[in-house]
Amino acid sequence: MPDMQNEVPIYLFLGFLEAGKTKFIQETMEDKRFNNGERTLLLTCEEGIEEFDISKYPCKAVEIRSIESKEDLNEANLARLVSETRADRVVLEYNGMWLLNDLFEAMPEGWVIAQVMFFADASTFKNYNSNMRSLVVDKLNMCELVVFNRMERTYDPQEFHKIVRGVSRRADIAYEYTDGAVAYDDIEDPLPFDVEADNIVIEDGDYALFYRDIMEEPKKYDGKTVTFKGMAAKSPKFPKNVFAMGRKVMTCCVEDIQYCWFVTETEDEADAKENGWYIIKAKIRVQKHKFYKGKGPVLLPVEITKSAPPEKEVATFY
């Protein structure tokens, strides 16, 4: 029986009903490069049309279990399933209508996300994005690979690319066409500002893209200078020489608007700014900080001036 204190890798397959998750998992488990002897818990959270066929697996040390209701998605139940099946790893087909945070809160100690893939039926994906945008964003935020299957040659990959890139610049994108061909997305998506400039100037409409990019790849900004318009905020929890500088950002809908800010440190506590709008020019230093719970970009102001709010106070990705 495995020690639950040891890491249990989780291979997470996301997508809505009939998106092709089951077919892909079946093909993955039939590949001896992936299924080479590890005891696997194949955990499903929704019932689709296709079924798994263990008889075709090169290694049959696979136990299939299902979670039929969100109430059963809890730490005790997940730990029990791994213990009963003596699994070394979990292949998880997640319910597209459930938020990922429900899973993360239910994960037992030692569970570690190893890989995340999102599958979408290209013929229905844009409808899901229009009518269930928050659920789509929830999945795209985490995935490393997005697979659009059932692509027709008449579909414009740029439309799908734009939706994915509106949420994540990291995810790879693949298109599986109905004629059997597979193409990988190579559409160039340059940032609207020059990261190599002596002073990286962020226009008001580009703050959301800048914030996401620096949080995804902070090292490329380390030691550089940036200028942008932001809203300063103080908190009693901050040291007297520290304040927040950022903007409210909307990812998909009004309900998900949040203040996306940077730790900003001054040499003198008298220089720390009170709540209000400013144009800040600052040096970026990537370092450990308690407010980031690890490393993150800390702004060291070079110049700060009072400013009027931008025309659109909430930044977006579009």
Given a cut of 90, whether residue 101 has pLDDT beyond it is yes
Q: Residue 2 domain-assigned?
A: no
Assess whether pLDDT exceeds 80 at residue 3.
Answer: no
Task: Tally the domains of the chain.
Answer: 2
Please report, as a single letter, which amino acid is at residue 101.
Answer: N
Q: How far is CA 283 from CA 267, 273, 276, in A?
A: 13, 16, 20
What is the CATH number for 168? 3.40.50.300
- Indicate if the pLDDT at residue 63 is higher than 80: yes
- As given in the structure block, the two tokens for residue 137 are 């964003």
In DSSP notation, 154-185 reads: TS-HHHHHHHHHTT-SS-EEEEEETTS-EEE-
Amino acid at 150: R
Name the percent of the chain lying above pLDDT 90: 81
Q: What is the share, in percent, of the chain residues with pLDDT greater than 70?
A: 97
Distance CA 249, CA 317 (A): 9
Task: Give the containing element (helix H, strand E) for 215.
Answer: helix 207-216
User: Does residue 193 lie within any of the structural domains?
Assistant: no
User: Sorting pLDDT into bands at 50, 70 and 90, what band is 252?
Assistant: low
Beta bridge partners of 13: 93, 117
User: Residue 271's pLDDT is what?
Assistant: 84
Residues 204, 177 share a domain = no
Of 133, 161, 184, the position where a domain reaches its end is 184
Which pLDDT score is estimated for 270? 78
Q: Is the pLDDT of residue 4 over 70?
A: no
What is the band of 268 on the pLDDT scale with cuts at 50, 70, 90? confident
Q: What is the mean pLDDT of residues 241-259?
A: 87
181's CB contacts (< 8 A; 6+ apart) are none
Please check whether residue 190 lies inside any domain of the structure.
no
Per residue in 160-189, pLDDT (tens digit) is 998 998 888 889 999 999 999 999 999 988
| 152 CB-near residues (< 8 Å, 6+ apart) | 122, 123, 177, 178
Each residue's pLDDT tens digit, 177-230: 999 999 999 998 888 999 999 999 999 999 999 999 999 899 999 999 999 999
Q: Which residue is associated with the tokens 């500088």? A: 245
Please report the pLDDT score of residue 274 as a whole number.
87
**Residue 122, domain extent:** 8-184
Mean pLDDT of the chain: 92
Rounded mean pLDDT, 236-246: 93
Q: Which CATH number characterizes residue 289's domain?
A: 2.40.50.140
Largest CA-CA distance found in the chain, in angstroms, rounded:
71
The residue among 143, 160, 184 that closes a domain is 184
Which residue among 184, 211, 243 closes a domain?
Answer: 184
Contact 23, 45 (CB under 8 A): no
Reported as a pLDDT band with limits 50, 70 and 90, residue 253 is low
